[in-house]
Copies of this chain bind each other. A is one copy, B any other.
């Protein structure tokens, strides 16, 4: 049996560690800002923001889950919190009685607006301040293919994640 070479070279390790640390610090700061400015968790903000950007301010639960949450029950839980807070409503979908349509309320839109400036400020200050415009383009250009690759690649132990 041959000795397997290390799977990651030093440059890769550096990129990986930096990536994780940067996002960790950024995310922590954002979560604090969202909590203080609008009493929202990051997941809740993501859900609201997605609804806010949707044509009718609505999505089916299944569509909402995509990319934000990893289990159905997790989404039900978060949607329940948002509903209790009056930021969304839930109603059976007209076309498919099994589905639930989640809709953002006016209060929900206001909440997003209230939180947005501070959110952008944190991202701008922490992430983009040390980067030039050209840098940001480069960064976006590098991450785009990675994102697509991750989205399209079935998580190696598939079964478990049929439903995201």
Contacts and interface: CB of A to CB of B under 8 A. Distances in A.
A126 B15 CA distance: 13
Contact of A12 (B6, B128, B151): B128
A135 B142 CA distance: 7
Q: Main SS of the interface on chain A? A: helix
A133 B10 CA distance: 11
Interface in A109-164: 117, 120-121, 123-131, 133, 135-140, 142-151, 153, 155-157
Interface residues of A, number: 56
Contacts of A153: 125-126
B18 A143 contact: yes
A23 interface: yes
Contacts of A128: 8, 12
Interface stretch (A24-32, A83-91, A97-105): A24-32
B67 A21 contact: yes
Given A117-B4, A135-B142, A20 B11 contact: no
A7 interface: yes
A154 to B, nearest CB: 11
Given A130-B145, A131-B146, A135-B142, 7 more contacts: A11-B140, A15-B136, A23-B23, A25-B150, A28-B70, A126-B149, A138-B142
